[in-house]
Chain A
């Protein structure tokens, strides 16, 4: 599913990320572990095609991401990659449902409210669709962020520090939800974290 070869990312001549070789099989859940500043976010950005690495190759489902033209990269990300950002950021001025609809429209699919309801229900927030995204609690936002990442049934889910800000109980719950949802749509899951509490949950790890 994911093949990385000779990947390097420099900022102003300083190498902040170097991954000689890494493979992830389809449907696997893997951890990218490393302290703050070790290049975890840089790696996820490169895989998602949000940043172009200095050198190396990243193949997702057989497609060379670094070689895609900008428009093709944006389209590829919209259709095949689901991102959960560390900040859980939602667009606060519209409803939860509208946040998910935006994800659908930007992926080029028609708005599918049945799918939205299904995802919200499976995350235990069935009644939240009409709420203004700026007014919900952190725990709810966590789930909405996961819902948004999976609503288009991506083949690859990238989660950046999804648990770092949570207490132990919520950390375990959020991780369980993420693993469930990834499994439900058969997606490959990559979790980047410096949170040692969750390292035991993953068999496959990349240490940076």
Chain B
């Protein structure tokens, strides 16, 4: 249609203003969509990892730190607990399963977790290749670890002391990879899993007199346990009990404040983009009053003039929105790459967050309102009075 052609010609006739309008819209959309994608994936990931474990029992200290270190494998542990002291808790009738974890070493940034077979059940992890570890110094690796490090059954790996990528190596105690896990979409993908005894074995020389583990991951047999166990453990033992669900909700709240601030910033950005779009369309309309009158003398209907103005605004709007979503997802994907280097959160820009549909609808609604006023003015412009005034 020639009207559309004309709308593009108008946009192309002021490239700088057009680019500015598209860029402002795109920045607002990109910021919000980036935040939506990243927070949605982080939330999803946190809840998925947290829901496998009902309660963590570990050394006293910050409960958030305990959860971060033993469930999300993202912080240093609060300390260790005695294996003997932990036994009565594991034996409690309200506990369905108790999984020990012994931390301390890592392999190229992937944590080495000393545990037992029940750990795999927590994450519904299945052995895709090879078998479960049996003898000391045998280990299985998560899917991400295997892919990134190029490990297969039969490979050897040497742990480094500490949880950072660059601790001193335990060169004299190599692990033998006997199995590779299928991807689970959980933290298990990023771990090296072995027996508690293997971890003890590596640290034999500076081992304490009594055997210790970092924490016990519990699953409840009954919902009643949630009300009784944590309080009992915290009050009557030297250990601490912390709930992953509660702590991750607290963490999300904490992060949420920052995200909300950024979101407000992005909303202000969008509002100013809408304002600039409005100003641009309006001044274009003023500049073009005579063009519109001329089109009417050529037989154009008022609706065609409104459509012309709308087409211009909607083109800017769509270009800004599409570019914005592309930028937001591109940034999320870049962040994912960068984080993959650091071997922590997997973030992808290739997935949509549920909030983005609302964002798209809001952008279109605000944009439509912005364009509607100039379109309305174009519709009701009177060519006769404009021509008579000259």
Residues of B within 8 A of A83 (CB): 297-298
Q: Pick from B8-16, B320-328, B347-355 the stretch touching chain A.
A: B8-16
Residues of A within 8 A of B291 (CB): 89, 91-92
Kindly state whether residue B387 has any CB partner on chain A within 8 Å.
Answer: yes
Report which of B2, B13, B297, B301 forms a contact with A85, defined as CB distance below 8 A: B297
- Contacts A71-B301, A92-B291 supplied; 14 other A-B pairs, CB < 8 Å: A45-B387, A50-B297, A50-B383, A51-B385, A85-B390, A86-B387, A89-B290, A90-B294, A93-B13, A94-B5, A98-B5, A102-B6, A107-B298, A107-B299
The total number of A-B Cβ pairs within 8 Å is 79
Residues of B within 8 A of A75 (CB): 299
**By the criterion CB–CB under 8 Å, are A50 and B384 in contact?**
yes
Cα-based distance from A87 to B385 in the complex (angstroms): 14
**Those of A88-118 within 8 Å (CB) of chain B:** 89-94, 98, 101-103, 105-108
Kindly state whether residue B228 has any CB partner on chain A within 8 Å.
Answer: no
User: What 1/0 flags go to B286-311 for Cβ under 8 Å of A?
Assistant: 00001101111111110010000000
Kindly state whether residue A74 has any CB partner on chain B within 8 Å.
Answer: yes
Residues of B within 8 A of A94 (CB): 5-6, 9
User: What 1/0 flags go to B1-36 for Cβ under 8 Å of A?
Assistant: 010011001101100000000000000000000000
Kindly state whether residue B227 has any CB partner on chain A within 8 Å.
Answer: no
User: What 1/0 flags go to A6-21 for Cβ under 8 Å of B?
Assistant: 0000000000000000
Nearest CB of chain B from residue A75's CB, rounded to whole Å: 6
**By the criterion CB–CB under 8 Å, are A79 and B297 in contact?**
no
**Those of A38-55 within 8 Å (CB) of chain B:** 41-42, 45, 48, 50-51
**By the criterion CB–CB under 8 Å, are A93 and B5 in contact?**
no
Kindly state whether residue B388 has any CB partner on chain A within 8 Å.
Answer: yes
Residues of A within 8 A of B384 (CB): 42, 45, 50-51
Return 15 A-B CB contacts under 8 Å, by A number.
A41-B390, A48-B297, A51-B385, A74-B301, A86-B387, A87-B390, A89-B290, A89-B293, A98-B2, A98-B5, A98-B9, A102-B295, A102-B298, A106-B300, A106-B304
Nearest CB of chain A from residue B255's CB, rounded to whole Å: 49
**By the criterion CB–CB under 8 Å, are A106 and B5 in contact?**
no
Residue of A nearest to B2 (CB): A105
Return the 9 tightest CB-CB contacts between A and B, nearest first: A78-B299, A51-B384, A93-B13, A45-B384, A106-B299, A50-B384, A41-B388, A106-B298, A93-B9
Report which of A48, A78, A89, A93 forms a contact with B10, defined as CB distance below 8 A: A93
Kindly state whether residue A153 has any CB partner on chain B within 8 Å.
Answer: no
Residue of B nearest to A160 (CB): B387
Report which of A45, A51, A74, A90 forms a contact with B299, defined as CB distance below 8 A: A74
Question: In which size bucket is the chain B interface?
Answer: 20 to 34
**By the criterion CB–CB under 8 Å, are B294 and A91 in contact?**
yes
Nearest CB of chain B from residue A17's CB, rounded to whole Å: 10
Residues of A within 8 A of B387 (CB): 41, 45, 50, 85-86, 160
**By the criterion CB–CB under 8 Å, are A103 and B290 in contact?**
no
Residues of A within 8 A of B5 (CB): 94, 98
Kindly state whether residue A194 has any CB partner on chain B within 8 Å.
Answer: no
Cα-based distance from A41 to B387 in the complex (angstroms): 7
Kindly state whether residue A143 has any CB partner on chain B within 8 Å.
Answer: no
Report which of A79, A90, A101 forms a contact with B2, defined as CB distance below 8 A: A101
Residues of A within 8 A of B298 (CB): 77-78, 83, 102-103, 106-107, 148
Residues of A within 8 A of B12 (CB): 93
Residues of A within 8 A of B6 (CB): 91, 93-94, 102
The CB with the most chain B CB atoms within 10 A, among A102, A103, A160, is that of A102
Residue of A nearest to B291 (CB): A91
Residue of A nearest to B389 (CB): A41
User: What 1/0 flags go to A23-49 for Cβ under 8 Å of B?
Assistant: 000000000000000000110010010
Cα-based distance from A74 to B299 in the complex (angstroms): 5
Residues of B within 8 A of A85 (CB): 294, 297, 387, 390
The CB with the most chain A CB atoms within 10 A, among B290, B291, B385, B387, is that of B387
Residues of A within 8 A of B296 (CB): 50, 74
User: What 1/0 flags go to A55-68 for Cβ under 8 Å of B?
Assistant: 00000000000000
Residue of A nearest to B300 (CB): A106
**Those of B355-390 within 8 Å (CB) of chain A:** 383-385, 387-388, 390
Nearest CB of chain B from residue A60's CB, rounded to whole Å: 14
**By the criterion CB–CB under 8 Å, are B299 and A79 in contact?**
yes
Cα-based distance from A23 to B383 in the complex (angstroms): 26
Cα-based distance from A86 to B137 in the complex (angstroms): 95
Known: A71-B301, A74-B300, A93-B13. A45 touches B388 (CB 8 A): yes
Residues of B within 8 A of A74 (CB): 296, 299-301
**By the criterion CB–CB under 8 Å, are B2 and A102 in contact?**
yes
Residues of A within 8 A of B385 (CB): 51
Report which of B294, B299, B304, B390 forms a contact with A77, defined as CB distance below 8 A: B299
Cα-based distance from A35 to B6 in the complex (angstroms): 37
Residues of B within 8 A of A42 (CB): 384, 388
Cα-based distance from A75 to B366 in the complex (angstroms): 35
Nearest CB of chain B from residue A148's CB, rounded to whole Å: 8
User: What 1/0 flags go to B240-265 for Cβ under 8 Å of A?
Assistant: 00000000000000000000000000
Nearest CB of chain B from residue A208's CB, rounded to whole Å: 13
